[in-house]
A and B are shown apart, each in its own frame.
Chain A
Amino acid sequence: METYISLAHGDGGELSHRLIRDIFVSAFGDKNAVMFDAAAITMATHKIAVTTDSFVIKPIFFPGGSIGKLAVAGTVNDLAVSGAKPAYLTCGFVIEEGFPISNLKKIVTDMANEAKKSGVTIVAGDTKVVERGSADGVYINTTGIGVYQPEIGCSLEFAEGDAVIVSGTIGDHGIAVLTARGELGITAPVNSDCASLNNMLEAILKDTSGIKIMRDPTRGGLATTLVEIAEDFQLTINIQETAIPVKAEVHGVCDLLGYDPLYLANEGKAIIIVSAKEKDKVVEILRKFPEGKDAAIIGSISSKEKGRLLLETPLGAKRLLTRLSGTMFPRIC
């Protein structure tokens, strides 16, 4: 087989056929699906969840993951936090001419492994090759299909005193990727948290009641996601700075670079808002999973009037947090 992707890999001819057969089908394993223009799938008849996401990341391999793992975990998590059980995935590749085929293989293997771990089947795919310079390496789009399960799910019915839980340390992915680019001359102090959370989240949905909402704080970080929840549902959310789990290494790099961990991307974390009664049980279950071992209660809903997020500092003041905005222009004199 060739070493690098060429334009001919995308022309629909022999090379395309071989690429699909040798790389995708052999990894994803659903031989039936590629026989037709569309994959035929069967699912339980209940409400279905569909989500799509495109993955563009630099570098494509980073400590703790790759664009492949991310493309599966990201879409699986979007389904999982919606309360659906992920079942099928499709994937579309945009590959730059000259991309090493060995790298493509690694990516596809990562996808297959992550799919297996999370119990989803990759059923359809597409590949396009673009001229050198028209893309940066490889971009992946995945679409996920999941099934809502009867009787369990998120109620979206909030009450004062509901607890805000985060399933582990924040900012790991953001720092891992930033440092892995090598531009800053610092070696990555942590691995990305990139992981599928569906099994863990299914466990808390099944074994507890009173879950109000779940979200994955990806781009924009914990703060932006919580601001969105606060505004969407007109809630005042209070979080305590000291309760938020952040790895010391992440703190260190943030301090050096002037970033705020609250605004760094995560790829294997969930925010869960749950009734006060069930909060400890949720944390207990989360902590049984490796992805949830650092789960913590970080705050609560303090009122149901105003959409805003407040961060209680150790000094006792409450900082009003806003969403991440393009450039963080200094405001202080």
Chain B
Amino acid sequence: MRSAVNIAVHGRVQGVGFRPFVFQLAQKLSLQGTVQNNMDGVKIYLEGEKSAIEEFLTDLKTKAPRLSKIHNIIVEDSELKSAEAFSIIESDRHGTSMLVIPIDSAVCDDCLREMNDPEDFRYQYPFINCTQCGPRYTIIDELPYDRPYTSMGGFPMCDDCRKEYEDPTNRRHHAQPIACPKCGPKVTLLDSNGQVYEAENSIEVTIRLLKAGKIIAIKGIGGYHLSCDARNEQAVATLRKRKNRPNRPLAVMAASIAAAKEFAEISQSETDLLRSPEAPIVILKKNRRYPLAESVAKGMRTIGVMLPYSPLHYLLFADPELSCLVMTSANPSGLPILYRDDEVFQYLSGIADFYLVHNREILHPVDDSVVQLNNGKLDFFRRSRGYVPDPFTTEQDVTGIVGFGGQQKTTFTIGRNEQIFIGPHIGDLENIETINHYRHELDHLLKWIDIPKTTAVIDAHPGYQVRNVVKEYDFSEVVEVQHHHAHMAACIEEHHIPGRAFGIILDGTGYGPDGNIWGFEILYGDAAQYERMAHLCYTPLPGGEKCILEPWRNAAAMLIQLLGEDGVRLAQTIFSDKEREINVLKKLIEHNLNTVYAGTCGRLFDAVSAICGVTKVSSYDGEAAIQLAELVDENNNFEPYSFDLQKEKMMMINFSSMLKELADDVIKKKQISLISGRFHETVVQAIVLTMDELLMKNPSAEKNVVLSGGSFHNRYLRKRITNELQARGFQVFVPESIPCNDGGLSYGQLAVAAAKRRS
């Protein structure tokens, strides 16, 4: 029987080949009607056999293009219009505006197949792409997304490409970066002086050089990587030395899942993540064999792995003897990722031996995204390429609010209607280059998203650089938000948690309104306001930031403060080469000179790491805590050390007895991994006991808990705290689509301002 329906599809359905997909589906099922884009999605009118319409609806959900994300489909019966064919019709400009900024995606299987087909005219072409894959955000100069406004603007299409581009049934219909060897970009291999080393067989020669242990700067999608053979210990060590990066783990790119399984354990969900269009770096457990160079990720039980995501990357793995490359972003330390061809030689001179470059300009750099599966859920270390700037949907109008983020791992977040856009990972706002990069990307996204500049949100810290940046923008108001309230609000917003919740925030460094450094907090409230219920006892940081760079100082200070003369003795024993310094630290504390007080999880981990002899001086941020956590297997259970809970109005966790026992264990040379495990469990038990007390004191409190702050990357803490709280009937929420670290701060800042605006 012939019938008709109107279908509305909402979600990420524009700019992802959705209309051609609908068109082909309708053709296949002999259905008639129309498809069009409108402001909030795709509108379809369909008529034909009822059974065919039903099949259409099933396929719409299950066979949609891989880049589309359907939030919902609304189907309504309609009058028959006696349409004679199926056609794509002009966009409808009505409805609430839904902005689409396309994202960069890994090369798709169809394109790979063509690239590997000697008969295809794009055989071995490193820039093959289609509507389902290829660069987007990184090459767009201006919206609307159209070839002339991208860095492909300077490459006129050849007849073959144009035919595909214009054919609505072709999978390259309106694929803006469409290209082929005849009309598209080309790669060239340059030597260290920037002279052409090889033009014709540049990839082949690159492979040969990599196999010979050379370090090559490779221009990718979001910027340059530095690359070398991950199995070649000497090459990796040279790269580390030249880049002045002694310890921080390096990410690798493996030729395939099979190649990655040579050195890492990979679950099905991890495979799916690696193979997703976003193609992030996934933190995986090393396997027993682990044939890669030790210095790729020294001291770690994990390794960051990604699969090739551009066609060029795939071509680099043509030789089976080269199955895994170090792929670390080519930025001198403290500077943003390099992406401009004219800057590379300046900054990488003395680091790269050769440069594999191409002439498709990168307009907006993005770093690789980094994720792990943590207690079965997605956990973002860095949300950037492939995810940015895909918007989040919220339940309120957030137009005009911009969260400016924090000082490190900074991002910004922009609100428009019911959409929230988190910008790319920017980095640490210490250097002018990074600050300029921040402003450049913010200006660019603000222009695209085009909102009234109503509310700027910044952290309450008096010294964060964004305080100066925000002055250059003309917002009607500037709102300050406490660091850990922003972390908490981010998770509340992400999960749309109604009512109130506890926020257990374990973090590195955040400015507290009492003038101390916070970071081990139990808060209670919602996105609009919070009350601090409990925290870690403050201990001094004599010398300020120096204590963070050199955790042994913080450890000594903690021992001195919490254990008095006993602590001084322990510190002198454990850091036996620092006798003079410890005496000075003690004096700094006594006279309150250049000393701030802190109660943070990050500093606690740093201190314990130093006491255990794991990391006494950090060479990158978070090193001490990360190295300590790497000693612990989250599938084990440990006996906690003792600790005290001060049950005043404000509850305080005091770890002095733990420190005493732990330091004694270190002196007795007990196994460090066991000490670390017991320390982890002590933190878990202290939090759980505090939560028990809090619930006893506030029996009517809602039993929702959010876990956030950078320390919740820690797999043991996350798993154990979640389990313990769930066993007590709490509903536990963790950040899954935004980083729990400061990369998620701007999103939380926006959430706080939005909630305050509403109330």
Residues on A with beta carbons closer than 8 Å to the beta carbon of B347: 316
Is A257 within 8 A of B333, CB to CB? no
Is A327 within 8 A of B596, CB to CB? yes
Which of the candidate stretches A38-46, A82-90, A179-187, A216-224 sits at the interface with the other chain?
A179-187
The verdict on A185 contacting B584 (CB below 8 Å), with A330-B548, A333-B508 known, is yes
| Nearest CB of A to B568, in Å | 13
Residues on B with beta carbons closer than 8 Å to the beta carbon of A93: none
Interface centre among B515, B547, B584 (most CB of A within 10 A): B584
Mind listing 17 A-B residue pairs with CB under 8 Å? A184-B584, A255-B546, A258-B545, A310-B432, A315-B244, A317-B333, A317-B431, A318-B431, A320-B431, A327-B515, A328-B544, A329-B462, A330-B509, A330-B517, A331-B509, A333-B508, A333-B742
B435 within 8 A of A: yes
Query: Which B residues, 465 to 522, have Cβ-Cβ distances below 8 Å to chain A?
Result: 465, 468, 507-509, 511, 515, 517
Is A256 within 8 A of B584, CB to CB? yes
Is B431 within 8 A of A329, CB to CB? no
Residues on B with beta carbons closer than 8 Å to the beta carbon of A318: 431-433
Is A185 within 8 A of B587, CB to CB? yes
Q: Knowing that A328-B594, A330-B517, A330-B544 are A-B contacts, what are 11 other residue pairs whose CB atoms are under 8 Å apart, sorted by A's residue number?
A: A186-B584, A256-B581, A258-B547, A317-B334, A317-B431, A318-B433, A320-B431, A331-B509, A331-B545, A332-B621, A333-B622
CA distance A325 to B596 in the complex (A): 14
How many A residues have CB within 8 A of the partner chain? 28
Query: Which A residues, 275 to 333, have Cβ-Cβ distances below 8 Å to chain B?
Result: 308, 310, 313, 315-320, 322, 325, 327-333
Interface centre among B244, B409, B544 (most CB of A within 10 A): B544
Q: How many A-B residue pairs have CB under 8 A?
A: 117
| Nearest CB of A to B199, in Å | 30
Is B544 within 8 A of A315, CB to CB? no
A99 within 8 A of B: no
A259 within 8 A of B: yes
| Nearest CB of B to A239, in Å | 13
Count class of interface residues, chain B: 35 or more
The 10 lowest CB-CB distance pairs between A and B, nearest first, are A258-B543, A333-B508, A258-B546, A317-B431, A317-B334, A330-B545, A331-B407, A318-B432, A183-B591, A184-B587
| Nearest CB of B to A330, in Å | 4
Contact of B621 among A185, A317, A319, A333 (CB under 8 A): A333
| Nearest CB of B to A302, in Å | 11
Contact of A329 among B334, B463, B543, B549 (CB under 8 A): B463
The verdict on A185 contacting B583 (CB below 8 Å), with A317-B332, A317-B433, A318-B432 known, is yes
B408 within 8 A of A: yes
Residues on A with beta carbons closer than 8 Å to the beta carbon of B332: 315-317
B257 within 8 A of A: no
Is B584 within 8 A of A319, CB to CB? no
Contact with A along B447-476 (1 / 0, CB 8 A): 000000000000001111100100000000
CA distance A148 to B503 in the complex (A): 64
The verdict on A330 contacting B541 (CB below 8 Å), with A256-B584, A316-B347, A325-B462 known, is yes
| Nearest CB of A to B255, in Å | 33
Contact of B710 among A319, A331, A333 (CB under 8 A): A333
Q: Which residue of A lies closest to B741 (CB)?
A: A333
Q: Which residue of A lies closest to B542 (CB)?
A: A258
B204 within 8 A of A: no
Residues on B with beta carbons closer than 8 Å to the beta carbon of A257: 542-543, 584, 588, 593-594
Residues on B with beta carbons closer than 8 Å to the beta carbon of A183: 587, 590-591, 593
CA distance A184 to B546 in the complex (A): 17
Residues on B with beta carbons closer than 8 Å to the beta carbon of A317: 332-335, 430-431, 433
Is B545 within 8 A of A328, CB to CB? yes
B602 within 8 A of A: yes
Contact of B594 among A186, A259, A333 (CB under 8 A): A259
| Nearest CB of A to B509, in Å | 5
Is B509 within 8 A of A325, CB to CB? no
Q: Which residue of A lies closest to B467 (CB)?
A: A322
Residues on A with beta carbons closer than 8 Å to the beta carbon of B621: 332-333
Q: Which residue of B lies closest to A182 (CB)?
A: B587
Contact with A along B535-556 (1 / 0, CB 8 A): 0000001111111110000000
CA distance A330 to B407 in the complex (A): 10
Residue ranges of B at the interface with A (Cβ–Cβ < 8 Å) = 244, 332-335, 347, 407-409, 428, 430-433, 435, 461-465, 468, 507-509, 511, 515, 517, 541-549, 581, 583-584, 587-588, 590-591, 593-594, 596, 598, 602, 621-622, 710, 741-742
CA distance A328 to B515 in the complex (A): 11
Residue ranges of A at the interface with B (Cβ–Cβ < 8 Å) = 178, 183-186, 255-259, 308, 310, 313, 315-320, 322, 325, 327-333
| Nearest CB of A to B595, in Å | 9
| Nearest CB of A to B519, in Å | 9
Is B548 within 8 A of A332, CB to CB? yes
Residues on B with beta carbons closer than 8 Å to the beta carbon of A258: 542-547, 594
Is B596 within 8 A of A331, CB to CB? no
Residues on B with beta carbons closer than 8 Å to the beta carbon of A331: 407-408, 461, 463-464, 509, 545
Is A316 within 8 A of B335, CB to CB? yes
Is A329 within 8 A of B517, CB to CB? yes
CA distance A186 to B468 in the complex (A): 38
| Nearest CB of A to B119, in Å | 49
| Nearest CB of A to B416, in Å | 30
Q: Which residue of B lies closest to A309 (CB)?
A: B432
Interface centre among B333, B335, B545, B602 (most CB of A within 10 A): B545
| Nearest CB of A to B527, in Å | 23
CA distance A317 to B428 in the complex (A): 12
CA distance A325 to B431 in the complex (A): 19
Is B602 within 8 A of A333, CB to CB? yes
CA distance A106 to B332 in the complex (A): 55
Residues on B with beta carbons closer than 8 Å to the beta carbon of A329: 461-463, 511, 517, 544, 596
CA distance A330 to B547 in the complex (A): 9
Residues on A with beta carbons closer than 8 Å to the beta carbon of B548: 330, 332-333
Q: Which residue of B lies closest to A316 (CB)?
A: B332
Residues on B with beta carbons closer than 8 Å to the beta carbon of A327: 515, 596
Is B435 within 8 A of A320, CB to CB? yes
Interface centre among B244, B432, B588, B591 (most CB of A within 10 A): B432
Residues on B with beta carbons closer than 8 Å to the beta carbon of A328: 463, 544-545, 594, 596
Is A320 within 8 A of B430, CB to CB? yes
CA distance A313 to B431 in the complex (A): 10
Is B334 within 8 A of A315, CB to CB? yes
CA distance A330 to B244 in the complex (A): 24
The verdict on A319 contacting B432 (CB below 8 Å), with A258-B547, A313-B334 known, is yes
| Nearest CB of A to B426, in Å | 14
The verdict on A325 contacting B602 (CB below 8 Å), with A259-B594, A310-B432, A332-B621 known, is no
Interface centre among A257, A313, A316, A333 (most CB of B within 10 A): A333
Q: Which residue of A lies closest to B510 (CB)?
A: A333
CA distance A140 to B544 in the complex (A): 33
Is A333 within 8 A of B408, CB to CB? yes
Q: Which residue of A lies closest to B407 (CB)?
A: A331
Residues on A with beta carbons closer than 8 Å to the beta carbon of B590: 183
CA distance A49 to B676 in the complex (A): 66
Q: Which residue of B lies closest to A255 (CB)?
A: B546
| Nearest CB of A to B688, in Å | 25
Residues on B with beta carbons closer than 8 Å to the beta carbon of A322: 463, 468
CA distance A120 to B468 in the complex (A): 43
Residues on A with beta carbons closer than 8 Å to the beta carbon of B602: 333
Residues on B with beta carbons closer than 8 Å to the beta carbon of A256: 543, 581, 584
Interface centre among A186, A315, A328, A330 (most CB of B within 10 A): A330
